[in-house]
Structure 1
Amino acid sequence: MASEYLSGIFSLQGKSAIFTGATGGLGSALASAFAQAGASIISIELADDPLSADLKSKIEDVKGKITQVHCDLRNPKSLRDCYQSIWESGAEPEILVNCAGVMKRNPCENATDDELDLLLDVNVKSVYISTQEFGRKLLSLKRPGKVINIASVTSYQAGFNTSVYSSTKGAVLQMTKAFSTEWASKGIQVNSIAPGFMKTPMTSQYQDNQKMTDYLMMRVPAERWGEPQDLIPAALFLAAPGNTFTTGACIIVDGGFCGK
């Protein structure tokens, strides 16, 4: 009996999970894990995303189901229309994972308007619109649901040359709290995860930098880079049917970086 209860409260069997950024390093690991837990994956991605086929293979390798829909996250109308097409296809709003994100490093005085526009469009505006469209559908159906936003340790601690990125991830943290405050009474839970320094294609240039690695070994008590798989337990908890009272929270997965 206990075993059935435990498996039930963490199972995503029969659920649908909408992802942005599922073709990225963190997103593909989470989408694959959700598929293994029983969820059908709906991936919002660019039509010419070179990693689209890899994601499809990864989900199918774990016997999961995936539907890939196309839009430009930087275009609000394209994103809103994408959600309309998702609902018209008969998909149910149950879980949303906003994992899309981009990073540019530059000293504050050198940050460009193009960098500001790109990071604000992808890291902030698309997350807001995606959450808004998902929540609107839940509210219209009077149903509960779960939103998971990917924040960052830079939501708490700004590093050198990350002024724009840190600003956008700070916005994700506050956005999560704002949405959760307004929607908690409707059963819509909005939470976030703040990854630390993770081994992904986005950080590949820093992984090969011995000076950067030495710095991390001093700053991260776990004394290692994080792996995308390190986020899976936190994400599954936030998405799990047994989690009904956690909202507005941010789970920090950083090997102790923020606590030092």
Structure 2
Amino acid sequence: MSDLSAFSLAGKRILVTGANTGIGQGIAVAAARAGAAIVAVGRSSMDETANQVEAAAGGAAFSPVMCDLADHKAAQEMLDAAWISGGPIDGLVNNAGIIRRADAVDFPETDWDEVVDLNLKTTFFLSQAFARHVVAAGRPCRIVNIASVLSFQGGIRVASYTASKHGVLGLTRLLACEWAAKGINVNAIAPGYIVTNNTTALRQDEERSASILSRIPAGRWGEPGDIGDAAVFLLAPASRYMHGATIPVDGGWLAR
């Protein structure tokens, strides 16, 4: 398979969590541009994402779904309802995530639980709910998890985020091992420093921002669309023999 159809998502229905802003928004727009129908999930308005999808892929099917993804049971019920009401889902992108910053010696338990519950626990149980549907239907499908460069590094002042993203990398490998033979491709993307709400504090700290930029060979912060295009590849037929991979999209950060 070598023609452009290998990178097409035409006829596919893709569910993206945290699609209201940032990386999730970039993935939703890129997938729509590649021909997919989008189920955009989040806990705030999807109007901006809908407008961007319309501008990039006029006429693309776009279904906004409100859900508090921090509640993994609610997330599973949401996916079940989306499958039953709208038909089979071909790809799940586990993007929704949060970050909390504090010195490890002072890190609050509430901040630990909130981050790990959304970033890791919901990722697992939403993937589980999705896999049950596709296995029962005998359909091939794709799962793309959003990991982080901090899946490979320690970072500073982000204990729960680093732990959760190390977990996402391991979970990606575990699910790939269990589900590859069932026709489910499970892979991940490890974004570097991307212009999103989660990095606002870093970008507003002139000294920290300059330090980050000095290490990125590409010389710039990433954009959500950079991650979106990589996600399209992992959702498309072109990556059919990829299982358990975590691909850094980081401007060369990890290469330094």
Question: TM class, shorter-chain normalised?
Answer: over 0.9
Counterpart pick for 1:115 among 111, 116, 121: 111
CA distance in 1, matches of 2:118, 2:207: 30
Q: State the 1:129 CA deviation.
A: 1.1
Shift of 1:24: 2.1
Give the count of matched residue pairs. 254
Q: Could you tell me which residue of structure 1 aligns to residue 23 of structure 2?
A: 26
Per the TM alignment, residue 166 of structure 1 is displaced from its structure 2 partner at its CA by 0.3
| One-letter amino acid of the structure 2 residue matched with residue 58 of structure 1 | Q
1:78-97 matches, within 5 Å, as 78-97=74-93
Is 2:193 the partner of 1:197? Answer: yes
After TM superposition, the runs of 4+ consecutive aligned structure 1 residues lying more than 4 A away are: none
Q: Deviations over 1:220-242 (max 9, x none)?
A: 22222111122233211111123
Q: Tell me what 2:49 maps to.
A: 55
Structure 1 residues 40-189: aligned runs within 5 Å = 40-46=37-43, 49=44, 51-61=45-55, 62-63=57-58, 64-189=60-185
CA deviation digits over 1:69-112, x for unaligned, max 9? Answer: 22221223211211221121142121111110101111111111
Partner letter of residue 39 of structure 2?
A: I
Gaps (5+ residues) in structure 2? none
Is the 8 Å Cα contact of residues 59 and 65 (structure 1) preserved in structure 2? no
Q: What is the TM-score normalised by the length of structure 2? A: 0.95
Alpha-carbon distance change, 232 to 82 in structure 1, aligned in 2, over 3 angstroms: closer
Give the root-mean-square deviation of aligned CA atoms.
Answer: 1.4
1:127 CA drift (Å): 0.7
Q: Aligned letter for 1:65?
A: A
TM-score normalised by structure 1 residue count: 0.93
Q: For 1:224 and 1:102, how far apart are their aligned partners in 2?
A: 23
- What is the identity percentage for the equivalent residue pairs of Structure 1 and Structure 2? 35
Give the structure 2 partner of residue 14 of structure 1. Answer: 11
Distance 2:198 2:118 in 1: 15
